[in-house]
């Protein structure tokens, strides 16, 4: 990634600790996006939290990406709602689109997908869109 973008990959068990540090010590108080990537060849799902800072002067152009990689077969990750409240809906999206179970995020229904969706999570690489 380019200048002013920092990506840190941490083990899933310590992501919350790192996130608290990034928020409190570095001043990255503003959640920007949460993205999940299905690395099917490596049998992993990568979850990335993008956070920026609106309060810390001189760091408004900086984005920190906190990443964790979890096994594809058992995708469980801790929720970071307690650190950044704003990630709540982003995590809901990750839960239904990639099948990640965010422990601590109470919502387990369908958010963007239809209520009766019973296929696999559609942003997984082995899901093929109808007609393709």
Partner 1 sequence: MAIQTEYDPDSDRIMAVAFGPQHPGAGHFRIKLWLDGDYLVRSEPDPGYIHRGEEKMSEYRNYIQNVPHLERPVILDSSNILFPYALAVDELMGNKVPDRGQYLRVIMSEINRIISHMYFIAIEGLFTGHTTLITWCMGDRDFWIDLASRIGGARVTFAYIIPGGVRNDMPEGLTEKALKTCDWFEKRMDEYEKIFFNNPLVLARMEKVGVLSSEDAIRLGAVGTVLRASGVKSDLRKDEPYSHYDDFDFDVSSLDGGDSWSRAYVALLEMRQSVRIIRQAFKNIPPGPVRLKLGPQPRVPAGEVYARAEAARGEMSFYLVSDGSPRPYRLKIGSPSFKNMRVLPHLLRNVHVADIPIIYWSLNYWPLEADR
Give dist(CA 24, CA 84) in Å, integer: 11
Kindly state whether residue 84 participates in binding partner 1, applying the rule CB under 8 A. Answer: yes
Looking at the chain, which runs of residues are DSSP E strands? 5-9, 30-39, 44-52, 63-71, 76-78, 101-103
The stretch near partner 1 (CB under 8 A) out of 8-16, 70-78, 124-132 is: 124-132
**Nearest to partner 1 of 74, 129 (CB atom):** 129
Kindly state whether residue 30 participates in binding partner 1, applying the rule CB under 8 A. Answer: yes
Q: What is the DSSP letter of 12?
A: G
Give dist(CA 4, CA 59) in Å, integer: 9
Q: How far is the CB of 57 from partner 1 (least distance, A)?
A: 11
Phi, psi of 21 (to 5 degrees): -65, -45
Answer for which of 25, 74, 119, 132 binds partner 1 (CB under 8 A) is 132
* Footprint on this chain of partner 1 (rule: CB under 8 A): 1-2, 4-5, 7, 29-33, 35, 37-38, 48, 50, 54-55, 60-61, 63, 65, 84-90, 93, 97, 110-114, 122-123, 127, 129, 132
């Amino acid at each position: 990634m380019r200048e002013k973008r920092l990506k840190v990959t941490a083990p899933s068990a310590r992501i919350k600790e790192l996130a608290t540090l990034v928020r409190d010590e570095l001043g990255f108080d503003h959640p920007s996006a949460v993205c999940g990537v299905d690395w099917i060849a490596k049998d992993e799902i990568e979850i990335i939290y993008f956070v920026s800072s609106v309060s810390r002067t001189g760091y408004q152009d900086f984005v920190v990406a906190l990443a964790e990689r979890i096994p594809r077969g058992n995708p469980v990750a801790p929720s970071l709602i307690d650190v950044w409240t704003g990630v709540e809906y982003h995590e809901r999206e990750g839960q239904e689109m990639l099948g990640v179970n965010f422990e601590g995020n109470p919502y387990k229904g369908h958010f963007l997908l239809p209520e009766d969706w019973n296929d696999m999570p559609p942003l997984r690489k082995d899901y093929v869109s109808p007609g393709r």
